Amino acid sequence: MNTKYDYPKIGIRPIIDGRLGGVRESLEEITMKLAQAVADLYTLELKYPNGEPVQYVIADTCIGGVKEASDCAKKFRANNVGISISVTPCWCYGTETMDMDPHLPKAIWGFNGTERPGAVYLAATLAAHNQKGLPAFGIYGRDVQDLDNMTISEDVKQKLLVFAKAGMAVAIMRDKSYLSIGSVSMGIVGSNVDSNFFQEYLGMRNEYVDSTEILRRVEQDIYDSEEYIIALNWTKKYCYEGKDFNEESLQISREQKDKDWEFVVKMTLIIRDLMIGNSKLKEKGFGEESYGHNALISGFQGQRQWTDFLPNGDFAEAILNSSFDWNGKRNPFMVATENDSLNAVSMLFNYLLTNSAQIFADVRTYWSPEAVERVTGWKPDGDSQFGFLHLSNSGSCTLDGTGQQEKEGEPIMKPFWDINEEEVIKCLESTTWYPANRGYFRGGGYSSQYLTRGGMPVTMCRINIIKGLGPVLQIAEGKTITLPENVHKILDERTDKTWPTTWFVPKLNNTKSFRDVYAVMSHWGSNHGAISYGHIGHELIALASILRIPVSMHNVEEERIFRPSAWNGFGNDSEGSDYRACNTYGPLYK
C-alpha cells in the first residue's frame, strides 16, 4: 500500500530579453531548450516518495516582462507547482520577470556564456530578490560555455539537484500533518508538540488522538480483517522470535505471547490507518475512521501509561518505518518513538531528501578508546581509533537499518523501488524479535534486535528548539563501523541485548563540535537522532535555509554548502551569517 498524495511539481521559468525586433526572436528557441534541459535533468534524476519521476511545468512562453511573469504565476498556481527555477542564457529585465511568490522556494540559473550576459541577469535579479526580501538560490557555472551548448555542466547539475531536492521537500511537507498518538512520554520535551513550530516553519497541521483510540479499534475490530490475517501469517513466517531474557518471575505464558503478536500486528495496521486512512474501513461502516489524518509523520507516546499494561509499540514502529511489510515493498512511514515530534521531523527531512527509510535511535553512549580497551581488552584501531558512538533504542528502528541491502557489494539503504526481494528477506532474517524487557515494558510486546553493517556513509541530524531563538538543526556526517564480534557483544550487552545497535563514527575536523568524537556527543542537543544513508549534510543545510532554520553544528565541507545568495550579505562567517539571515527573514510561513 503506497501513500497517495498529489505531489507538487517543479515550475520552470524560461527568462528572455523582451526586446522584440531581433533580440528576443534570436533567443526564443535557445531559451526554451535551456528550460527543457533542466526539465529533462529533473525527470531523469529525481523521484517522488512513491517512486514516480517528478513532474514539471514550463511556462507557456518565455518570460520577457511582467505580463508573462504574471501569466506564468497563474499557471503555476493552477498546476500545484511547489518550487520555481528560472533559467536564462541572456540579459533580461530583473524586477519585471522575477518570481514574486513568497512561499515558493526559488532559484535562478544564469547561463555562463559570453555571447549573451545570462550571468548579468543572474546577479541583477538576485540583488532584486535580496532587496525585496525574497531569498533565491543563485546558480552560476564555473566555466564559460558556448551559447549553443545545452550540456549542463557537473557543477551546475549538482546545484540544480540540491536546490530541487530541498525545495521539493519543503513543498511536500506543506499542508500535511503530524499525528500525535498520545501525549508526552516520560518528560521528553520533543513529545511536548510545539504546534507553532509546525505551522510557521513547516506549513504543517497538528492532529491529535489519544492512545486509547488504538485500543478502541483493536477491541471493536476497526481494521481490515482480511489484511490482518495476511499480516499475522507473514509475521509468523518472517519475524523470528528470540529467547525470553526476562527473569523467570516476569515471563509470560506462550499463550499470552501469541496474543501479544496478534495485538502488535493489529497496532501496526491501526497506526497506519490513523495516518493515511483506509477505504476498507468505510466498507465496514466506519466512514469517519476511513479518512485518516493526512499525516506525513506521526509519533506514538507508548511509555509509560500505555506500556505499563499493554504491548509496546516497537513492532508497529519498526515495521511502519521499514520499506516493506506483508503487502510487499512500499514507501516507509515516518513514525517516532516516544512521540518525539522533533525527531520525527528530523527523520522526515532525511527521508524527503533521499526517499529511503530512516533509523531512529538514542544517541546513547560515547565509547572512548581507553574505555573500550579497559572493558574489552581490545584497543580500537582504524575507523574506531578515536572512539565511536553507540546508537540504540528500544527496537523501533527500521529494518532497512540492518544494512542488508547492497550496491556493488557494499551495504546501503535504498528507496523501496530499488530493493529486491532477496534483500527484503535478508533484512528480516537479520532481525530477531525478543520478548520485551519487562523492566521497561510491563505490558510486554516485542523489540527488534539487529546489528547495522559497518561501512555505510550516513548522516545524523536533529532539530532542537531553543527558547528565545527557535528551531536549530544539528548535522553529523560519518559512517557506520564494524567492531570485532566479541567486542560488540561485550559493549552491546551493557545496554540491552534485545535492542538494535548501530556503531557510528562522525567525520572530524578542527571545529569545536567535531574536534573529536567526544565533542560530537557532548554537543548533541537531545537524546535522539535521525540517521540517513549517505552524506546529505549539504542538502539538509539548503533545506534548513529555505525554512529559515539555522544550523547550529555540522561537519560539511565549506565548498559543498549551498544557501540563498542573500546569506552572503549577512557577513563572511558562514555560521553567523546563517543565524542572522534566519533571524531577519523569520519562519517561511509566519
CATH of the domain at 210: 3.20.14.10
**Shared-domain flag, residues 411 and 357:** yes
**Shared-domain flag, residues 132 and 222:** no
**Shared-domain flag, residues 119 and 267:** no
- The predicted structure's pLDDT at residue 113: 67
HEC-encoded secondary structure of 68-114:
HHHHHHHHHHHCCEEEEEEEECCCCCHHHHCCCCCCCCEEEEECCCC
- The predicted structure's pLDDT at residue 114: 61
Structural domain count of the chain: 2
Instruction: Supply the DSSP string of 563-578, one letter for each residue.
Output: --GGGGGG-S-HHHHH
Say which of 362, 492, 539, 578 is annotated catalytic.
362
Identify the domain boundary among 158, 173, 188: 173
- The predicted structure's pLDDT at residue 291: 97
Q: Which stretches of the chain drop beneath a pLDDT of 70?
A: 1-5, 113-117
Is 554 labelled a binding residue?
Answer: no
- The predicted structure's pLDDT at residue 5: 61
Say which of 17, 99, 207, 338 is annotated catalytic.
338
Q: What is the DSSP letter of 451?
A: B
In a domain, 266, yes or no: yes
Is 400 labelled a binding residue?
Answer: no
**Shared-domain flag, residues 162 and 226:** no
In a domain, 2, yes or no: no
Give the position of cell 561485550.
Answer: 490
In a domain, 233, yes or no: yes
**Shared-domain flag, residues 360 and 402:** yes
Identify the domain boundary among 147, 173, 199: 173
- The predicted structure's pLDDT at residue 431: 97
Q: Could you tell me which residues come within 8 angstroms of residue 52 by beta carbon, excluding any fewer than 6 positions away?
A: 7
**pLDDT tens by residue, 394-434:** 888 999 999 999 999 999 999 999 999 999 999 999 999 99
Give the structural domain span for 146.
9-173
- The predicted structure's pLDDT at residue 288: 96
**Shared-domain flag, residues 165 and 300:** no
**327 vs 570: CA distance, rounded Å:** 51
**Shared-domain flag, residues 166 and 208:** no
- The predicted structure's pLDDT at residue 1: 40
**Shared-domain flag, residues 455 and 488:** yes
In a domain, 99, yes or no: yes
- The predicted structure's pLDDT at residue 112: 72
**Shared-domain flag, residues 507 and 522:** yes
- The predicted structure's pLDDT at residue 402: 98
**Shared-domain flag, residues 46 and 97:** yes
Assess whether 143 carries a catalytic annotation: no
Task: Provide the whole-model pTM.
Answer: 0.96
In a domain, 3, yes or no: no
**Shared-domain flag, residues 84 and 185:** no
Assess whether 45 carries a catalytic annotation: no
Is 383 labelled a binding residue?
Answer: no
CATH value at residue 74:
3.40.50.1070
